[in-house]
């Protein structure tokens, strides 16, 4: 539906000793920062991404529908076996006809590339037989956190053809760029699970892949203290659902003595319930969606324990709910370079309407 297999770079990190913390090296919050606050009592119970105009919803541009080759604004929304206009034909097209072209076609026209190299590149990987969850949410999610929501804009190419881009046309290009061409390093905490829904703990990345104590440290420091969102695969099973995490609200259910399964230096367990909110995918739109009914946020209800040592420092935790994030990750804002330098100009015009 709205997912993609995401080949993320898992950064190695020397774990704390088993006696000190209960998470493995791939789940260490220090992968993200050495400066996180870890004392539970000083961490907030709510937090929100506050950078303006980010976390916007858009399509995940499914592979089986043609990805960004889909003419989403045209009748029938075709995405395969399209015939692109020649230069002469494009010069004679109406604004309505140009508006019905796919995001990739519009971008090639903007660059004056009447051989349509981007369309051909996308067509080489888009397949009608692809799984219905395959798409570029791994590009949409970081783009939506790092960039202002684009507005509709008209851009002229060197031949004077005025090409109308809807908000989702620009979003599609931004998502594609972040999915395949951004070279910014990725930081990932936790592993991907490869088991089918309902089966856990039998393979790498499907058991204690993302420790809830480590997750709570990351969530509360980023959203609660820094007011900055992050990215997560919010589903714990084989398919990857990449979403921009925008806010959370936690509640302390109870405090009790540490169980026999807790970290060796844990003396207390805090039972937590957390509502985790994130931007979700929608059908393409011509107009922006933030602060309108079209913007979609969804929620995951998480339950877990947090293990504390004698100083009140978080040293581990265990999941209670079957629902939990598979992994969290971070990708910074990227510059538009090379063949996508024109995308930077398009985005600048669409973001500064």
Q: Are 48 and 227 in contact (CB under 8 A)?
A: yes
- The structure's pTM equals 0.89
DSSP code, position 150: P
Cα–Cα separations (whole angstroms), residue 280 to 58, 216, 305: 8, 22, 27
Q: Identify the sign of the CA torsion 126, 188, 304, 47.
A: negative
SS3 annotation, 172-208: HHHHHHHHHCCCCCCEEECCCCCCCCCCCCCCCCCCC
> Is the pLDDT score of 5 beyond 80?
no
CB atoms inside a 10 Å sphere around CB 238: 19
pLDDT (tens digit per residue) in 28-77 = 999 999 999 999 999 999 999 998 768 999 999 999 999 999 999 999 99
Number of H helices and E strands in the chain, helices first, is: 8, 10
Give mean pLDDT, residues 202-212. 67
Report domain extents, the chain: 25-52+188-330, 63-183+336-351
> Is the pLDDT score of 233 beyond 60?
yes
Q: Find residue 248's DSSP bridge partners.
A: 47, 276
Predicted local confidence at residue 195, as pLDDT:
67
d(CA 55, CA 295): 9
For the chain, how big is the Rg over CA atoms in Å?
A: 22
pLDDT (tens digit per residue) in 116-171 = 999 999 999 999 999 888 899 999 999 999 999 999 999 999 999 999 999 999 99
| Chain-centroid distance, C-alpha 159 | 36
Residue 353 — very low, low, confident or very high, per pLDDT cuts 50/70/90? confident
Predicted local confidence at residue 22, as pLDDT:
73
């Amino acid at each position: 539906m709205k997912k993609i297999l995401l080949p993320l770079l898992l950064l190695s990190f020397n774990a704390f000793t088993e006696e000190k913390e209960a998470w493995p090296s791939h789940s260490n919050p220090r992968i993200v920062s050495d400066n996180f606050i870890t004392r539970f009592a000083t961490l907030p119970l709510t937090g929100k991404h506050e950078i303006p105009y980010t976390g916007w919803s858009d399509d995940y541009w499914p592979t089986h529908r043609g990805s960004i080759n889909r003419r989403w604004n045209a009748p029938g929304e075709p995405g395969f076996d399209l015939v692109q206009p020649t230069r002469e034909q494009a010069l004679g097209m109406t604004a309505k006809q140009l508006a019905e072209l796919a995001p990739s076609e519009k971008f090639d026209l903007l660059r004056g590339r009447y051989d349509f190299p981007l369309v051909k590149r996308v067509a080489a990987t888009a397949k009608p037989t692809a799984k219905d969850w395959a798409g570029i949410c791994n590009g949409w999610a970081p783009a939506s956190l790092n960039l202002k929501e684009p507005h509709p804009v008209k851009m002229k190419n060197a031949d004077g053809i005025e090409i109308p881009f809807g908000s989702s046309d620009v979003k599609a290009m931004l998502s594609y760029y972040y999915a395949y061409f951004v070279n910014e390093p990725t930081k990932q905490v936790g592993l991907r699970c490869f088991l089918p829904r309902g089966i856990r703990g039998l393979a790498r990345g499907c058991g204690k892949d993302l420790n809830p104590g480590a997750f709570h440290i990351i969530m509360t420091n980023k959203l609660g203290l820094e007011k900055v969102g992050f990215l997560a695969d919010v589903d714990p099973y084989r398919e990857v659902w990449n979403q921009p995490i925008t806010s959370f609200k936690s509640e302390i259910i109870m405090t009790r003595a540490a169980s026999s399964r807790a970290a060796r230096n844990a003396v207390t367990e805090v039972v937590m319930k957390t509502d985790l909110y994130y931007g979700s995918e929608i059908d393409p739109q011509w107009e922006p969606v933030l602060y309108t009914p079209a913007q979609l946020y969804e929620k995951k209800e998480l339950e877990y324990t947090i293990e504390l040592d004698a100083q009140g420092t978080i040293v581990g935790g265990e999941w209670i709910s079957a629902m939990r994030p598979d992994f969290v990750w971070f990708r910074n804002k990227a510059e538009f370079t090379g063949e996508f330098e024109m995308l930077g100009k398009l985005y600048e015009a669409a973001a500064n309407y």
